[in-house]
Structure 1
Amino acid sequence: MSPHTSQHPERTGTPGPDTRSGLGRRAFVGVLGAAALGAPASAAHASPEPVRAGRGGTDLRPVFLGTYGNGIITCTYDTTTGALTRQSAFTAVTDPSFLAVAPGGKVLYALDNAGRQGAVRAFAIGAGGALTPLGPAQSTGGANVTHLSAHPAGRHLLSANYGGGSVAAHTLTGDGGVGARTGFVQHTGSGPDPSRQEGPHAHQILTDPKGSYVFAVDLGTDKVYTYRLDAVSGALRPVSEARSVPGAGPRHMVFHPTAPYAYVANELNSTISVYAYNTATGVLTRGQSRPTVPAGAGRAVRNYPAEVTVSADGRFVYLSNRGHESVARFSVTGGGAELRLLDTVPSGGSWPRHLSLSPSGALLFTANQYGNTVAAFTVDRDSGALTPSGRPFATSSLGCVLPI
């Protein structure tokens, strides 16, 4: 079913009372699979093939686009300008709105929402980014899977079911394919927003930078759950829970690459929160929260933060604003404990559901779900400032942009 016609609030692509479509909300994603995971996922993946030369000797690398209705699109991007060129597409997968790459960069993981329960799939990445399925899709055990990430140890795939309010773990086979489901946890509870928090809605699952603990960000219960992944059985063992501001609707989280802090994008109250992280126990403790748009901007249109990522040096945090249609840039201060909004820049299209940094950190890409575009920005090494680079790339309705 098309994400624009589904009656499920997490399948429509529209958070809450968006008057442009009149539909309910489709929370998804956004680090990339692993990366949104722990360290900025986009900065941790190796290329699956040698870098190729483009026109004028420029370097080209693969980038994968997760779409609604048009499968997985493979492109190349110019490592200097960010310009995209379409290469191919794998269409035999339903709404692969979030993608992740295995450690080593040779296997791509995708969501598949073809049935009543969500599923996850694996693809070998070949020459030019061509995708070859590795085994069948495997059920995640819950409705509307919205996020997945590869555990850094390379032996398990993690997934979050937004509709079902649950999280799962699957074993990975020797070639990187998805095997049996080994872990499953059903969240319970609700939040103060009756239209969006009537029950649990797990929106993201990720690991810390060292792979010690697994974290599930649940928009419906206003909590971030800590789990320990049993390396032998693949079970997810509950450790602790951290509460957000009531009604904040935590959506996605990213860890600082070196300091013991994490940053959570809150979809329902348009804020970003800092959490102190006890690396020994896995416990998160909420600290300051800051608006994600400039003062007064939130009065013009309701804003729904989506994806959050951090520069490899930990000096800047970037967040996509849907409604304000922008990318916010924050400076990281206080050793990681504080954020300060520096500015916002137009996202290059409507409803920036996802953003990601290139492995070099020199480029940032936005996946604009309603605008059907990918926009590229160059990143100033010193200031972290974003500058639009060329015209946005026209494509399908997007949930994810994954440069490798």
Structure 2
Amino acid sequence: MSGSSQTGRAYIGSFTAAGGPGVVTAAVDPADGALTLLHTTDALPDPSYLALDGGFLYAVSETTAGAVAAFRTDAVSTTLAAPAAPVDGAGPTHLTVWGNHILTANYGSGSVSTVPLRADGTPDPALRDVLHHTGSGPHPQRQQSPHAHQIVVDPSRGWAVSVDLGTDSVRVCALVDGHLTPHHETALRPGSGPRHLAFHPGGEYAYVLNELAPTLTVCRWDAAGGILKPLTEVPVLPGAPRGDAYPSEVVVAPDGRFLWTATRGEDVVSVFALDPTGEQPTLRATVPCGGHWPRDLALHPGGRFLYAANERSGDVTWFTVDAETGEPVRGGSLRVPAASCVVFGPPA
């Protein structure tokens, strides 16, 4: 694991409705991963999740109306590049860029949206497509209807994969002429409430983090066929939680040796060792997240530093990852009220 000698940039999302500053730009110290505040903008309401692509920072607006926007970035600041584009979905919680389209997962309406990008890289507000999920689960409050929570593109760049907490399933779609086309749906254990997934760098396995049960479902991924197959389900905590645990995020080391999850109800980061194939995660330790309610975990591209966006304590904590054990060692924190997401840009 190695880091850059140049100062990088971190971009942090937050909930403006809960007192957050909006999109935060911070410098990343290459020596210890420390964050230094550079700039904030509240030009977009509730920019809870971010993605960098093609020189733009893209953000969802996690509101009832639901929108997506592009920001231009420079060495210090972040500015809205164009008015936000509607996604025709409520409460978008996640987005990804696939070619010349933005895909959003809309938790409130249980759908995924496709928004094309114009030639200048900004979302086109006039053209969009929505794929509605169907189904439900056994949880009486959380699973009465679909709740798409995440959408990502698989490592082969051939499929869009959406995780739905409300239907206990993961859907695989193709993108055909700007429309997401359903290809395969993988059912997970009823009541598990899948929230997010991450792929192993080898591309043959995926790890689904379940919010309603504090577990991780290991799946085999067939990129040629576009099929996700559940193999095993393992706990993310060493014992029974004190109450509802609310796991939030899963990240995998770029060398495939370790995996980390965040659990909001316990305020911990769990450390897993992965076997050489990636099929067998083993829980090694849990460490405090450095705050309260870690909504997001993010690994710096170099693999040396791990960051927890602690929504309710209003800070982002950084850790140095022990290269031998994978255990995060706390370094410090940056005050960001209602923090929700961290992504990294190239060195300035």
Q: What's the TM-score once normalised by structure 1's chain length? A: 0.81
Pairwise CA distance, 1:113: 3.7
**Contact 2:212 2:244 survives alignment (8 Å):** no
The answer as to 2:112 corresponding to 1:112 is no
Return the alpha-carbon distance in structure 2 between the equivalents of residues 345 and 144 of structure 1.
Answer: 31
Return the alpha-carbon distance in structure 2 between the equivalents of residues 117 and 276 of structure 1.
Answer: 36
Q: Could you list the runs of 5+ residues in structure 1 that have no partner in the other structure?
A: 1-42, 44-50, 52-57
Pairwise CA distance, 1:60: 2.2
Aligned partner of 1:132 in structure 2 is: 79
**Aligned with 2:35 (options 72, 81, 84):** 84
The answer as to 2:188 corresponding to 1:244 is yes
Write the letter of the residue equivalent to 2:91.
N
Aligned partner of 2:333 in structure 1 is: 392
Query: Deviation digits for residues 135-167 of structure 1, max 9, x if unmatched?
Result: 22111111111110112x3x1111010000000
Write the letter of the residue equivalent to 2:338.
S
Return the alpha-carbon distance in structure 2 between the equivalents of residues 59 and 281 of structure 1.
Answer: 41
Pairwise CA distance, 1:89: 0.9
Higher strand share: 2
Return the alpha-carbon distance in structure 2 between the equivalents of residues 74 and 318 of structure 1.
Answer: 24
Return the alpha-carbon distance in structure 1 between the equivalents of residues 60 and 229 of structure 2.
Answer: 31
Write the letter of the residue equivalent to 1:119.
A
**Aligned with 1:167 (options 112, 115, 135):** 112
Return the alpha-carbon distance in structure 2 between the equivalents of residues 140 and 182 of structure 1.
Answer: 7
The answer as to 2:295 corresponding to 1:353 is yes
**Aligned with 2:147 (options 198, 201, 214):** 201
**Contact 1:83 1:376 survives alignment (8 Å):** yes
Aligned partner of 2:94 in structure 1 is: 147
Q: Could you list the runs of 5+ residues in structure 2 that have no partner in the other structure?
A: none
Pairwise CA distance, 1:65: 1.0
RMSD: 1.6
> Equivalent residue of 1:127, what SS?
coil
> Equivalent residue of 1:199, what SS?
coil
Q: What's the TM-score once normalised by structure 2's chain length? A: 0.93
Pairwise CA distance, 1:394: 1.8
> Equivalent residue of 1:272, what SS?
strand
Return the alpha-carbon distance in structure 2 between the equivalents of residues 113 and 342 of structure 1.
Answer: 35
**Contact 2:59 2:95 survives alignment (8 Å):** yes
After TM superposition, the structure 1 = structure 2 runs for residues 1-400 of structure 1, keeping only pairs within 5 Å, are: 59-69=6-16, 70-102=21-53, 104=54, 106-114=55-63, 116-128=64-76, 130-151=77-98, 153=99, 155-179=100-124, 180-230=126-176, 233-296=177-240, 298=241, 300-333=242-275, 335-389=277-331, 391-400=332-341
Return the alpha-carbon distance in structure 1 between the equivalents of residues 91 and 267 of structure 2.
Answer: 25
Query: Deviation digits for residues 227-283 of structure 1, max 9, x if unmatched?
Result: 0112xx211010000011110000000111114110000000110010111111111
Return the alpha-carbon distance in structure 2 between the equivalents of residues 375 and 334 of structure 1.
Answer: 29
**Aligned with 1:401 (options 331, 337, 342):** 342
Write the letter of the residue equivalent to 1:264.
V
**Contact 1:59 1:80 survives alignment (8 Å):** no
Return the alpha-carbon distance in structure 2 between the equivalents of residues 195 and 310 of structure 1.
Answer: 31
How many residue pairs were aligned?
A: 338
**Contact 2:174 2:181 survives alignment (8 Å):** yes
> Equivalent residue of 1:247, what SS?
coil
**Contact 1:273 1:287 survives alignment (8 Å):** yes
**Contact 2:51 2:57 survives alignment (8 Å):** yes
Pairwise CA distance, 1:382: 3.0
Pairwise CA distance, 1:181: 3.8
Return the alpha-carbon distance in structure 2 between the equivalents of residues 183 and 311 of structure 1.
Answer: 34
Query: Deviation digits for residues 87-145 of structure 1, max 9, x if unmatched?
Result: 1111111110111101x4x210011245x4200000111222x2232222111111111
- Runs of 4+ with >4 A deviation: none
